[in-house]
Amino acid sequence: MRIAWHHRTEAPIRPEGGRTDLIIEVEQLVKTYRSGGLQVQALRGVSLTVRRGEMLAIMGSSGSGKTTLLNCISGLDDYDAGSVRIAGVELATLSNKEKTTYRARNMGFVFQTYNLLPVLSAVENVELPLVVSGTDAREARERAMASLDRVGLADKAGSRPGQLSGGQRQRVTIARALVNEPDIVWADEPTGALDSRTANDIMELLEELNGDHGQTFVMVTHDAGIGARCDRLISMTDGVITSEESL
């Protein structure tokens, strides 16, 4: 049962041919929210590509569609038109279940507002992605501790999120996002709620991880300083990309 599952989900994800360097390809992505009689065009034809191992920053004013973009290309949300390919596979062709499994194995998430389960301790939160992908409990715990150690919170492993500061919580989230050694890490304002010193520490950590493991980072930020430390920076306004610069 588990083996068959492996096949189905991993086979289509393997990169094909010579385009291995492009892990994310987005073309003319359109997303419209409809609630009640109201329609909000959050994405109006966004196209973009991300290379494997790249650190991409997305900036833009509030409400410009950054979170929406992240949700759509990470497979958390559906889109209305356009196409998204992750590692050469068209998202639209994957079933809900396949997308979920892919997320569990190959993606890490840092959300804008809500990240940790209050009922679990830090280390339990970190090991969740391993638990869902069927890792042995003992191994999961070891890797989760290692990951916590990397973000400098090994001593807080047993604490509940409620007992941690905002910055510490964010670091636990990062530990969780990295614990399954994902291909892509999505981060929606990972430093938004933090002071500039802590934000700087976290950025350094991310850069270090990016350098060591060659993971791809897609990061939304309001902080120009942080944006400047990435490989490339795109700006959004009203659901379209208005500028793009490599740094």
Ligand X SMILES: Nc1ncnc2c1ncn2[C@@H]1O[C@H](COP(=O)(O)OP(=O)(O)OP(=O)(O)O)[C@@H](O)[C@H]1O
Residue 217 engages other proteins in binding (rule: CB under 8 A): no
Residue 67 engages Mg ion in binding (rule: CB under 5 A): yes
Return the half-sphere exposure (C-beta side, CA atoms, 13 A cut-off) of residue 176: 31
Residue 128 engages other proteins in binding (rule: CB under 8 A): yes
Q: Which amino acid is at 99?
A: K
Closest CA to 176 of 229, 89, 104: 104
Sole window of 49-57, 103-111, 150-158, 212-220 interacting with other proteins (rule: CB under 8 A): 103-111
d(CA 188, CA 94): 24
Shortest approach of ligand X to residue 77 CB, angstroms? 9
Structure tokens at 170: 């964010």
Residue 65 engages ligand X in binding (rule: CB under 6 A): yes
Site for ligand X in 104-143 (CB under 6 A): 112
Site for Mg ion in 75-134 (CB under 5 A): 112
Residue 168 engages other proteins in binding (rule: CB under 8 A): no
Contact 197, 158 (CB under 8 A): no
Sole window of 53-61, 109-117, 216-224, 233-241 interacting with other proteins (rule: CB under 8 A): 109-117
Long-range contacts of 109-114 (CB under 8 A, 24+ apart): 109/74, 109/177, 109/185, 109/186, 109/187, 110/170, 110/173, 110/174, 110/177, 110/185, 110/186, 110/187, 110/188, 110/190, 111/173, 111/188, 112/67, 112/188, 112/189, 112/192, 112/220
Shortest approach of other proteins to residue 226 CB, angstroms? 22
42 versus 153: smaller Cβ distance to Mg ion = 42
40 versus 119: smaller Cβ distance to ligand X = 40
CA distances to 110, 138, 154, 190 from 159, rounded to whole Å, are 19, 19, 10, 21
Site string (187-226) toward ligand X, x via CB under 6 A: ----------------------------------------
Site string (14-43) toward ligand X, x via CB under 6 A: -------------------x-x----x-x-
Q: Are strands 232-237 and 55-60 parallel, antiparallel or unpaired?
A: parallel
Residue 191 engages Mg ion in binding (rule: CB under 5 A): no
List residues binding ligand X (CB under 6 A).
33, 35, 40, 42, 60, 62-68, 112
Chain residues in the site for Mg ion (CB under 5 A)? 67, 112
